Structure 1
Amino acid sequence: MTAADVVPFARVGVIGAGAWGTAIALAALRAGRETVLWARNPDAVEAMRRERENTRYLPGVPLPPTLDLTTDLGEIAKADAIMLVTPAQHLRTACAKLQPSLRPGTPVVLCAKGIELSTGCLMSEAAEASLPASPVGVLSGPTFAVEVAKGLPTAVTLAIRDQELGSRIVETLGSRSFRPYLSDDVMGAQVGGAVKNVLAIACGIILGRRLGDNARAALITRGLAEISRLGLALGARPETLMGLSGLGDLTLTCTSLQSRNTSLGTALGEGRTLSEIMGERHSVAEGVHTSAALGELARRHGVEMPICRAVDAILNRNADIDETIASLMARPFRIEGR
C-alpha cells in the first residue's frame, strides 16, 4: 500500500479540552478533518463557543469557527477516530463513560503520559481493559501544547499494532506542521513519555537548587538509562526509546521551563512546598502521580531506577532534597552503559 492509497478518517473526536486536547483538535483541523472537542464543564464549552478561545488553558490562541465543541460524549462516539486526552489518572473512568456509545472497531488514540497509580498499568493496558472492542494506539513525543496549537513544526510517534489502521491515523492527523511517525511498539512509545515527567521534576530541582548545567546534563543522561532499563524489561524496542517518544520527549521536557514538571521541580528546589505549588495550578503535572506508581512497577520487574526513586521520596515521603541529592552522589561508581 502506498501513501496515495491510504484514506484518512473524515471526522476526529477529541476528549479533553485542556491545553493538549485543544492543541490536538487544532492540529486535526489544520490537517483538514472535521473535528469535535469535548469538555466536561458546560460553562467552559459555552465560554469557548462565545469567545472562540480556550482562555483557561490556551489563552491567545484562536479557535476557528469550524471547531465543534460539545459536552455530549455521544457526539464524540460518532467520530471515525477518537483522541483521548484526559489526565492519566482519569483515563480509565473516561473510557468507561465512552464505551457504551462507542461503535466497535473505532480507533482510540491515547495522548496522556503516565502510569495508573491504583494499578501500575500503562495507559494502553488501562484502555484495552475498558474498551475491548476498540483498537488502541498511543500518540507521544516532544510536544508543548501551545506550539502545536500555533502550528509550529512538531514531530511525534503514533504507535499502534495494526499498521494499516495506523497509516490512516497518520494521514488523518499529519500536516506540514504536524508530522507523525508510525510505529507498532505501543509499549515503547509509552515508557519514555511516562518516565520523562518524573525525570523533568528532578531536572527542575537541579535548576531550583542552582546545581549547574553539568548536573542537569548528567541527570538527563542517567535518566535515559533508567528509561531504557525499564523499557527493555517491559518489552520495548531500543530504537523506540531512542526516538521521538523517548529521547526526544526527555530532551524537550528536561530543558525548558515550559514543562509543567520541570517548573514544578524548580519551585521545589527553590524551597516551596508541593501543596503550595499544586494549589496554584490549573494543569496537571503528571510526574507527581507517576513517581509513586513507577517505584512499584520498577520493583515488580527488578529494574533499578535511583533517580526516579529519589523523586518519589521527595514528593511522596517528605525526603529532604539536599540529603537525597547527597545520597545519589554517594552511590558506588559504575561502568557506563550499565
Structure 2
Amino acid sequence: MKLKVGLLGAGSWGTTVASLTSKNAETIIWARNNATVEEINKYHTNEKYLPKATLHKELRASNSIKETVENADVIVMGIPSQNFRHVLTEAKPFIRPWVPIVSLAKGLEISTKMRMTEIVEEELPGHPAGVLTGPNLAKEIHFGKAAAAVIAMVDKSIAKKLQSVFNSGLFRVYTNSDVIGCELGGALKNIMAIAAGMSDGANAGENTRSALITRGLSELTRLGTAMGGKQRTFAGLTGMGDLIVTCSSSKSRNHHVGFELGKGKPLENIISEMSEVAEGVKTAKIIMELAKEHQIDMPISNEVYKVLYKGNTVFDAFKGLLTHEVGSEKEPG
C-alpha cells in the first residue's frame, strides 16, 4: 500500500520535496497563499520559489491544513524553524495517531534552543519524529541534478519505509539513526556558510574559504558531539557534505547573506530583499548560548555573531580570527 504524504510549506525546498514524493506517493502540499495553491494546481509551477520549474503533474496543493494532513500517513514539515511550532500546533488536531513527522528545517527555535524533532516530541508525543537533511540545493535537485540526502529517525524500520517515499531517480536517500547529529549538522553549518560568504564577498580568496570550511567543521563537530550527536555523523552527508555545498554555492541563502555582508551591505537590507529565510542569521544567537552552556570554543561562530548582532565589520571578524590563539589542529580552537 502506498503511503499518503501531507507536506506543510510551499517554499523552494518544500515544493521540491513535494514534487519528488508525488512520484512515489499521493502528495498534498499546503500553502497559505491562495494564488500559490491555484498556480500549483492549474499550471504545475511555483514561479516565486522555483522559477521555470515544472512540478510533478500528480502533486496537488491546498490552502487547508486540515485537508492536507487528515488522511496523511506521513507529515513533512517544510516550515522555517521559528514558525515550525506554530504551524505544527495548527495541524495537530487533524493529524492521526502515530503518524511520523519529518522536518525539512535546518535551524533551532530561538526561545527554547530546541531542535525541530524535539518540538515534535513535545507537541505530539507518540509520533515518530525525524529529519530529511543533507547537501541539498532545491533548484539543482528539481532540475534533475544528482544529489544525496539522509532520512534520520530513531526507529530504523520507519526510516527504511520512508526512504522509499523520498528516494527518486538521481535523488538518493540514505538512512541514519543519529537524529541529533543529523539535525545539528544542518543547523550549525549555516553559521559557517555565512562566514564563508563573508570571505567571498570581501574577496579573501579560496584558501581562506577552505580554512573556514575545515575549521568550521571542527567547531560544529565539537558542539554537536557535546550535545549528543555521533562524531562520524559530522563527517558524512549531513555534516561535511552539507557544509561544503552551503559554504561554496551562490545558491545558498546563508552564503548569500555572508557575501553581501562581505561587500559592506547592511544586514537589514539583505534580509528585506530576500524572499526566503536564511536560517543561520537567527541560529547564530542560539549557537553562542549553546557554546557557552557546553563550554565549547567556537571562534568562527563568535565572529559571525558579532558581525550580525554587535555591529562588527567583516574585517573586524577576520582580525578577531587572526588574533585567536593557534593550537594543535586536533585540539579545540
Query: Per-residue CA shift, 1:168-220, capped at 9, x if unaligned?
Result: 00012212222111111000001111011111010010011111111110000
Match of 2:49 in 1: 57
Contact kept in structure 2, 1:91 and 1:127, CA below 8 Å:
no
Alignment of 1:1-338 (within 5 A): 9-30=2-23, 32-77=24-69, 78-338=71-331
Task: Write the distance in 1 (CA, Å) between the matches of 2:96 and 2:37.
Answer: 25
Compare 145-154 and 246-255 and name the one that shifted more: 145-154
Contact kept in structure 2, 1:27 and 1:148, CA below 8 Å:
no
Contact kept in structure 1, 2:40 and 2:60, CA below 8 Å:
no
Unmatched tracts of structure 2, length 5 or more: none
Contact kept in structure 2, 1:200 and 1:261, CA below 8 Å:
yes
Contact kept in structure 1, 2:20 and 2:56, CA below 8 Å:
no
SS at match of 2:51: strand
Task: Write the distance in 1 (CA, Å) between the matches of 2:112 and 2:311.
Answer: 23
SS at match of 1:53: coil
Task: Write the distance in 2 (CA, Å) between the matches of 1:320 and 1:58.
Answer: 33
4+ residue runs of structure 1 moved beyond 4 angstroms?
Answer: none
Contact kept in structure 1, 2:299 and 2:324, CA below 8 Å:
no
Shift of 1:132: 1.1
Shift of 1:276: 0.8
Unmatched tracts of structure 1, length 5 or more: 1-6
Quick one: which amino acid aligns to residue 52 of structure 1? H
Task: Write the distance in 1 (CA, Å) between the matches of 2:104 and 2:284.
Answer: 19
Quick one: which amino acid aligns to residue 44 of structure 1? T
Task: Write the distance in 2 (CA, Å) between the matches of 1:190 and 1:216.
Answer: 24
In the comparison of the two structures, how many residue pairs are matched?
330
Match of 1:3 in 2: none
Compare 91-100 and 145-154 and name the one that shifted more: 145-154
| TM-score under structure 2 length normalisation | 0.96
Contact kept in structure 1, 2:3 and 2:25, CA below 8 Å:
yes
Contact kept in structure 2, 1:27 and 1:151, CA below 8 Å:
no
Query: Per-residue CA shift, 1:102-157, capped at 9, x if unaligned?
Result: 11110000110011111111121122111113110111100000122223211111
Shift of 1:12: 1.1
Query: Per-residue CA shift, 1:41-80, capped at 9, x if unaligned?
Result: 2222123323321011001111233111001111222111
Shift of 1:328: 1.1
Compare 38-47 and 78-87 and name the one that shifted more: 38-47
The structure with higher relative contact order (CA 8 Å, sep 6+) is: 1
Quick one: which amino acid aligns to residue 61 of structure 1? A
| TM-score under structure 1 length normalisation | 0.95
Contact kept in structure 2, 1:159 and 1:185, CA below 8 Å:
yes
Quick one: which amino acid aligns to residue 63 of structure 1? L
> What RMSD, in angstroms, separates the aligned Cα atoms of the two structures?
1.2
Quick one: which amino acid aligns to residue 18 of structure 1? G
